[in-house]
Amino acid sequence: MRAVVRHLIVCVGILVICLPLSIVGTLLMFPVWRWLEATYGIEAVGHSGPAEWCYVVTFLTSTLTALLVYALRFARAR
């Protein structure tokens, strides 16, 4: 039971930490979003910055990567 609570706390912590990091990462990837829009015609950049889906993609990528790293470290420690 203790391990389940620990894993939940770590997963919630990963979500909380990835949120501001993904916002900063999305803004730093502004040239990538412009290139993607120019190359493929996908609406990625508006007059006020990257589109909402850019933030979602960056958040999901960073969160899934962090959770995968945590899962692999836990499996290796076992």
Q: Is 76 a residue whose pLDDT tops 90? A: no
Q: Which percentage of the chain shows pLDDT scores above 70? A: 100
Count of structural domains, the chain:
1
The phi and psi torsions of 45 (rounded to 5 degrees) equal: -130, 125
User: Domain range for residue 34?
Assistant: 2-77
Region of 49 on the Ramachandran plot (φ > 0 left; ψ -120 to 50 alpha; else beta): left
What band does 21 get if pLDDT is binned at 50, 70 and 90? very high
3-state secondary structure string, the chain? CHHHHHHHHHHHHHHHHHHHHHHHHHHHCHHHHHHHHHHHCCCCEECCEECHHHHHHHHHHHHHHHHHHHHHHHHHHC
Average pLDDT value for residue range 59-76: 94
